[in-house]
A and B are shown apart, each in its own frame.
Chain A
Amino acid sequence: MTSFFLKGEWYDFRDLGNPVGGLLHDIDKIAPHWVVYVVASLIGTGGIVLWGVLSCLAFIWIERRVVALMQNRKGPNRVGPAGLLQPVADALKLLMKEAITPRAADKIVFWAGPVLIFVPALAVFAVIPFGPKMTLADLNVGVLFLIAIAGINTPAVFLAGWSSNNKYALLGAMRTIAMLISYEIIQVLALLGPVLLVGSMRLGDLVGWQDHYNTWIFFIQPVGLMAYIFAGAVETNRSPTDIAEAESEIVAGYHTEYGGIKFGFFYQAEYLAGFAIAAAITTLYMGGYTLWGAEKYIPSWIIFLGKLYTVFFIYIWARGTLPRLRIDQLMAFAWKFLLPIMLVNTLVVGGEVLIWRENDISDVTALTLIGLVNFFFGAALVIGWARFLGHGRGRQVGRRALLTQEVGAVYFGAETSS
């Protein structure tokens, strides 16, 4: 019975690529090749759009409920069972609202903003392998595509902020440009580690490598993962770096003037970009759709989505906990802290891979050693560099207030008396 399910026939739903492949095979017998090509891309795109929209709706509910739990309140619980239909109601409300364009706005650019931000957010998923046969476009430069397409949202955000003709929007747009350009570099360097290790930019190969060596790059590249998670938070404007739309400072940043479904596009694009970051982390660092053999029994796309949502949950958690950084602090963090560390990390990984390839070392020994070296060296590097920049222990410890009985005394500048 088990072997029957493991053959991977067209009806095998562990990989949704199988039934689609079966269908395409049948079409191929009766129709010209281009029909197969068009049908395949339509199915893939439709599937991704459907999944993206549904996941967004689900995560709007999950995020609101989870943050509500963190904040001692209930969250949406009135529309539908346990408030499940709340995102649907919100989406309907956004659809039915009047699409206002401010009189002073640049009309065409104002419209272009939400579209330009939404399309790349979806296009990123084209190269993500959801399962062994579930990649819409298995590009050999998948990692490059990932970075390039995700980078398109920078001009889109700037178009939105500039065309609104609103000062808050302009401030938000300026902040976004500065932030995204800085963190794009960090992101590239963070993704370079796994690519160097594997020697391929095809995302399928990256997953296959991790499956073959039975390890996750997460264990071999901890510093890269941390940097990528943080850069991802910046890229998708999520807390603690939601500076571009800092609600308490510049109202809503670049989308201050947007309402109705145009705002809905921004809102959804933000979630999709978050999923894209989580998908990249899952694929490059956490073994993609594989789970140490369990993918033979559990559908690989369920494993992949489970990992993706787990990573995305980190961002929700951070949103419920952390305050926001200031723009100059965020920039300083990128250029002074993360960039040198990532450069050194890239150098170290390159050297390690070189030694591994040149010498006759068994894979297990090599990977174990690389993992241990990277972990301890990375920890030493992060702590040492932080100390060097003056963030040593002691300064972060919050000082409590002095207590005194003496009315009228002045304690300004007084040192801590224990």
Chain B
Amino acid sequence: MTIKSEPFVVNVGPQHPSTHGVFRLRLTLDGEKIVDADMVMGYLHRSMEKLAEERTYTQNIPFTDRTDYLSAMTGNLAYVMAVEKLMNVEVPERALWLRTIMAELQRIASHAMAVGIFANDCGAWQTPVMHMFRDREKILDLFEMACGARLTLNYMRIGGVSKDIPVEWMPQAQRLLKELPDRFAEYEDLLLSNEIIIARSRGIGTLTPEQATAYSVSGPMLRASGVAWDVRKADPYGAYDKVDFDIAVGRNGDVYDRFVVRLAEMRQSLRILQQAFERMPAGPVHARLGTATVQPWGQAVAPLAYRPPVGEAYARIESPRGELGYYIVSDGGPAPFRFHIRSPSFINLTPLKLMSVGMTVADAIVILGSVDIVVGEVDR
């Protein structure tokens, strides 16, 4: 007698403890084995790209905080770089360095979160997350000192940054910089050679370099597949061409390598920060734009309505999740004619089916965790 069996469909999400928001994964299972995986997106769609066409260029900056809400600095940075390209603005030296510093601090905070949540997806009940949050909190404190916000920072401005860092900022940041290597060593001790983490993640969700480039994957995921591609090196922006750092790459392209690459990148960020703290020049932090007003206390404040010349611009940066690009078309008016975000979370998610078919449910969760999506950026 043969027992009749049929595939079994399980919805992972939109309400599920480890979908990192409201992402929905429709798994077709044969026992525990995945035979098909469908991604259903759009539960967090807020129509950002259309909304941005109705706002002025400055008003759009807060939107960019809210796409990738775990890495608001890089969202800001990519957007203002695109507008600066459109307007041909020369950004002062100190502002470039400040942007670099903030982006790297943000990268550490975001990778800490990614690694912690990855361990949580593996089943390490909250401990790595809580330890990583401790350091992330300190970085958020620095952000709060610099711009008053912790999550949705809104720090970058067209032509510079909103304000210079206060005098107390630098000592506190230096203290943090001294602390962090020990902390990272602690995480590496706890997680890197952990037998269970290795068993759970090595050889899981492998992407070859060919597959990764075919799917246009970027960021730590691409580097874990062994491709040494980093926009900070390939197309330097900010002050990245003036600092010395390495690209961390993996060898196997599996989940474990993605996690290892993130840990290594946190250390490289520290290297960049160290150099930036030593070499950051004094000076203005905001370009004197034609229409900018200078406040009584000497800071340039951007007006609400810039009118860039007709044209289009694309600026890309290396966000913690990958290559983040903003494409902006201007028709000469106060608001962008077209506003498009190339969001790394969304594009890195596309090979999910390729990676998870043939694996088990437990693997699918770990693979999804290794992509490190932010649903706000996937759906915009």
Contact = CB atoms under 8 A, between A and B. Distances in A.
A404 to B, nearest CB: 5
A396 B193 contact: yes
A175 to B, nearest CB: 8
Contacts of A399: 251, 260
A190 to B, nearest CB: 21
A140 to B, nearest CB: 41
B251 A396 contact: no
Contact of B208 (A321, A409, A412): A412
Interface in A218-249: 239-240, 242-243, 246-249
A325 B361 contact: no
Interface in B209-259: 209, 223, 225-230, 233-234, 246-253, 256-257
Contact of B257 (A71, A395, A401, A404): A401
Contact of A327 (B32, B134, B234, B256): B32
Given A171-B10, A407-B230, A323 B251 contact: no
A83 to B, nearest CB: 18
A314 to B, nearest CB: 15
Interface in B243-289: 246-253, 256-257, 260-261, 263-265, 268
Contacts of A403: 246-249, 264, 268
A409 B208 CA distance: 14
Given A408-B228, A411-B228, A412-B225, A321 B362 contact: no
Contacts, number: 172
Contacts of B16: 251
Contact of B249 (A72, A246, A321, A411): A411
Contacts of A325: 123, 196, 199-200
Nearest to B134: A72
Main secondary structure of the interface of A (DSSP, over half): loop
A30 interface: no
A418 interface: no
A319 B127 CA distance: 9
Interface residues of A, number: 52
A293 interface: no
Interface in A360-418: 395-415
Contacts of B223: 401
Contacts of A401: 223, 248-250, 257, 260-261, 263-265
A174 B8 CA distance: 13
B190 to A, nearest CB: 8
Contacts of A396: 193, 195, 198
A400 B249 contact: no
B253 A412 contact: yes
Interface string A30-45: 0000000000000000
B317 to A, nearest CB: 15
Interface stretch (B100-108, B114-122, B155-163): B114-122
A271 interface: no
Contact of A405 (B246, B250, B361): B246
Interface residues of B, number: 64
B299 interface: no
Contacts of A249: 18, 123, 361-362, 365
A73 interface: yes
A42 B224 CA distance: 64
Interface string B127-157: 1001100100000000000000000000000
Nearest to B190: A321
A329 interface: yes
A387 B195 CA distance: 14
A328 interface: yes
B18 A250 contact: no
Interface of A: 67, 70-73, 167-168, 171, 174-175, 239-240, 242-243, 246-251, 319-329, 395-415
Given A403-B247, A412-B225, 6 more contacts: A70-B127, A71-B127, A250-B361, A251-B17, A324-B196, A324-B362
28 contacts: A167-B9, A174-B31, A247-B123, A248-B122, A320-B125, A320-B127, A323-B124, A325-B200, A327-B32, A395-B198, A396-B193, A398-B192, A400-B263, A401-B257, A401-B260, A401-B265, A402-B249, A403-B246, A403-B247, A403-B249, A404-B249, A405-B246, A406-B228, A407-B234, A410-B226, A412-B209, A413-B226, A414-B226
10 smallest A-B Cβ distances: which pairs?
A: A324-B123, A412-B226, A398-B192, A71-B130, A401-B264, A403-B246, A323-B124, A323-B122, A401-B248, A398-B193
